[in-house]
Amino acid sequence: MRYIYLLVAVAALMVLPMLTTGYVVYLANLLLTFTVLCLGLHLVIGECGQFSLAHAAFYGIGIYVSGLLSTHVGWPFPLSMLAAGLVAAAVGVLIGLAALRMRDIYLALATFAFGEAMQWVFLNWRSVTGGPNGLRIAPANLFGWEIITDKQAYPVVLISAVVMIALTVLIARARIGRSFRAVRESEIAAQAMGIDVKQTKLAAFGLSAFFAGVAGSMFALYSTYIHPDSLGFSTTILVLTMVVVGGLGSIGGAVGGAIVFGLISELLRQAPQYQEIFYGLILVLFMMYAPKGLFAFLGDLWGRLRHG
Amino acid sequence: MDWSLFWLFAQQGLASGIVVGSVYALLALAIVMIFKTSEVPNFAQGEVFMAAGYLALFLFVFQGQPVWLTVAVTLVVSFLAAALFRRGVLRQVALASGSPVNLVIATLGLSYILKGLVRRTGFGDTPRSFPALVGTDSIMIGQASVTRLDLAILAAAVAVMAFVFWLFAYTKVGRAMRAVGMNPKAAQLMGVNLEKIHMLVWGLSGVVSAIAALLISPKILMTADMGSIVTMAFAAAIVGGFSSLPGAVVGGFIIGIVENFVGLFISSRAIAVAPFAAIMLVLIIRPQGLFGGKFAIKKV
């Protein structure tokens, strides 16, 4: 039954561009990109319990790698997307290696510092990233077929997002997913069960960065320009807020949070002067009254209403 | 670079570094005292600092209040606001889940709220400077040029540090604060009111941040984003070991001096990345910092 719902949802998403305007398609592209970003953060924080505050940096690496590859080298986008994911994953594993020595707050601060340092690199490595002028991204291509508009990019973005969601579900059900959760609950107990804690953490960081890199590549498909300003700590916090609003630790929560909060933050663009206050209030109020996320909160409420 | 120029730069860097480092040290103290008692790194410390600076600016420049009233109101409001955040918000967060991650996210929320509120007032639209209350005529110490304001900042910061150490080391309430940091349950059994201590620590850290803001505001351009200076304080706290008050102070001075040296000897563009490089290096090479003890795993 659940699969029928899913098929209906995907079919509806497939025909979306035929029915609506360019703006709605652009928004759908953006939300699907956020979905993949959220899944990446979900893997490392929600599944494996490792605090990572450098997600925007991996996202940026993905954008620049795929943007540069399709602009200067002319690689077809499936290849540049894979390259973006792999380069981000390689950097993620490096960060993971450094992170093996740290926990909790120290890990949060180290990854935060890495994220800020990467933004500095994006801003100052002028010959590659264009520095503060930003980078123009040439249209992605596949053997002569060029992606120029949001509508042309949409099917590719949608398929990528669906593939990444499926991959997350597979990871969660596989041995590696169980290892993630074991490490999250207790490293010592996990070790006693024969789980290689170090490799598990490295895998979590690498996979999380891979997802962020692919998300960056999805962004590069439908965007023509990137500036380092949008790759800082506030983007990481935006993704973290989405995951938290949806519910830390569940795939549905990560996807739902990306869509619900992505829509909210797009609406808030109409009132930029309230944006920060609203973000802050959402974070604080959710932590106070709905730490398990919006959907768990609504589920509880529904249950209470039905059973008095 | 010839030797005499190098020597001049070194002296100037040291002098400027110690002055600005004393302010980083105050902010690092504010962060560490909260972390010591509740294991929460307060990501909103920079915004508490920023909001206190704007409150003082509002009272002194826009309302024309006298200095003593401006300082008194700023410190009292900072104390109450920080203590109330602990009592009203963080207590509920801890009750709802108890996970430290959630407390950290709540402080991130507070930082956004404060930034948004200050932006709403409109005072942050144009960068302003707080008028200096002490003369800014310069004095030569060796070959380094410092202002009288610089010396006043350093003196005030050192006085606040001394007060904080006295409070933690020699008073009953300070002992209670340390006890809560070591073992909350045992402290509670000894008759310590946990919530009261948490409120006091948050209030105190709010006051220390407000003092840091009052001291540094005449030297910098105030904007709603000036709270980002707190990354320097985080770097200082990490260098010092994150749970050691003397470590925070030493770390603050080290970061201030290193920042100035990087600016003078390498490039001013590199200043922006120096604290993050410092944080990563220290965490990778010596995660417990200069003053932190050995890592111990608390629970299985």
Residue, of A217 and A21, whose pLDDT is higher? A217
Residues of B in contact with A288 (CB under 8 A): 89, 92-93, 96, 106
Phi, psi of A146, deg, nearest 5: -100, 140
Across the interface, whether the CB atoms of A114 and B272 are under 8 A apart is answered no
B144 to A171, B17, B99, B262: CA distances (angstroms)? 60, 11, 49, 17
- Report the gap between the CA of A121 and the closest CA in chain B (Å): 9
Phi, psi of A142, deg, nearest 5: -135, 100
A68 to A60, A73, A135, A255: CA distances (angstroms)? 12, 7, 9, 29
d(C-alpha B78, C-alpha B34), whole Å: 15
Residue, of A180 and B273, whose pLDDT is higher? A180
pLDDT recorded at residue B210:
95
A194-208, A213-227, B33-47, B133-147: least confidently modelled range: B133-147
Q: What is the DSSP letter of A136?
A: E
Of the candidates A102, A189, A280, the beta carbon closest to that of B113 is on A280
pLDDT recorded at residue B72:
94
In the chain, the amino acid numbered A160 is: S
Q: pLDDT tens for chain B, 300 residues: list them.
A: 678 888 888 888 899 899 999 999 999 999 999 998 888 889 999 999 999 999 999 998 888 888 899 999 999 999 999 999 999 999 999 888 767 778 888 999 999 999 999 988 877 777 888 887 777 778 888 778 888 888 989 999 999 999 999 999 999 999 999 888 888 888 888 888 888 999 999 999 999 999 999 999 888 888 888 888 888 898 899 888 888 889 999 999 999 998 888 888 888 777 878 888 888 888 878 777 777 665 544 443
| Nearest partner of A228 among A127, A81, A305, A121, judged by Cα | A121
Across the interface, whether the CB atoms of B287 and A106 are under 8 A apart is answered yes
Distance of CA B161 to the CA centre of its chain: 11
pLDDT recorded at residue B140:
82
- The average pLDDT across A137-145 equals 76
Q: What is the DSSP letter of B60?
A: I
- Give the pLDDT band of residue A180 (cuts 50, 70, 90): very high
**In the predicted model, what is the mean pLDDT of chain A?**
87
- Report the gap between the CA of A110 and the closest CA in chain B (Å): 6
Question: B83 and B199 in contact (C-beta within 8 Å)?
Answer: yes
d(C-alpha B72, C-alpha B168), whole Å: 23
| Nearest partner of A83 among A98, A97, A72, judged by Cα | A72
Of the candidates A98, A101, A287, the beta carbon closest to that of B105 is on A287
Give me the residue spans of the domains in chain A: 2-233
- Report the gap between the CA of B6 and the closest CA in chain A (Å): 27
Across the interface, whether the CB atoms of A113 and B275 are under 8 A apart is answered yes
3-state SS assignment for residue B137: coil
Instruction: Name the pTM for this structure.
Output: 0.87
Across the interface, whether the CB atoms of A283 and B109 are under 8 A apart is answered yes
A33 to A59, A164, A167, A221: CA distances (angstroms)? 10, 10, 15, 11
d(C-alpha B224, C-alpha A269), whole Å: 19
d(C-alpha A118, C-alpha A104), whole Å: 21
Q: Does A273 touch chain B (CB under 8 A)?
A: yes
Question: A117 and B277 in contact (C-beta within 8 Å)?
Answer: yes
Residues of B in contact with A280 (CB under 8 A): 108-116
3-state SS assignment for residue B77: helix
d(C-alpha A303, C-alpha B46), whole Å: 41
Strand partners, A140: A147
Q: How many cross-chain Cβ pairs, A to B, lie less than 8 Å apart?
A: 129
Question: A128 and A65 in contact (C-beta within 8 Å)?
Answer: no
Q: Does A261 touch chain B (CB under 8 A)?
A: no
Identify the residue whose tokens are 């690092």.
B28
With a CB cutoff of 8 Å and minimum separation 6, the contacts of A181 are: A47, A48
- The average pLDDT across A200-217 equals 95
Per-residue tokens: A172: 């969660």
pLDDT at A3 over 80: no
Phi, psi of A248, deg, nearest 5: -65, 125
Identify the residue whose tokens are 């981000």.
A88
d(C-alpha B85, C-alpha B94), whole Å: 13
pLDDT at A212 over 90: yes
Neighbours of B146 (CB within 10 A): 18
Give the ipTM of the model, two decimals please. Answer: 0.87
Q: Does A18 touch chain B (CB under 8 A)?
A: no
Residue, of A21 and A45, whose pLDDT is higher? A45
Counted residue by residue, chain B has a size of 300
Identify the residue whose tokens are 């929560």.
A253
pLDDT recorded at residue B296:
47
Encode pLDDT of A56-80 as tens digits: 999 999 999 999 998 888 888 889 9
In the chain, the amino acid numbered B249 is: V
pLDDT recorded at residue B273:
82
Of the candidates B93, B113, B277, the beta carbon closest to that of A277 is on B113
Q: At B141, which helix (H) or strand (E)?
A: strand B138-141
* Domains of chain B, CATH where assigned: 3-285 (1.10.3470)
High-pLDDT (> 70) share of chain A, %: 98
Q: At A146, which helix (H) or strand (E)?
A: strand A145-147
Alpha helix positions (H), chain A: 2-19, 22-41, 55-68, 77-99, 104-124, 126-129, 150-173, 175-185, 187-192, 197-222, 233-246, 251-268, 272-289, 294-307
Q: Does A109 touch chain B (CB under 8 A)?
A: yes
Q: Does B265 touch chain A (CB under 8 A)?
A: no
Q: Does A197 touch chain B (CB under 8 A)?
A: no
B 183-242 near A (Cβ less than 8 A): 231, 234-235, 238, 242
**Residue B122 burial (10 A CB sphere; 0-12, 13-18, 19+):** exposed
B 72-111 near A (Cβ less than 8 A): 89, 92-93, 96-97, 99-106, 108-111
Q: At B139, which helix (H) or strand (E)?
A: strand B138-141
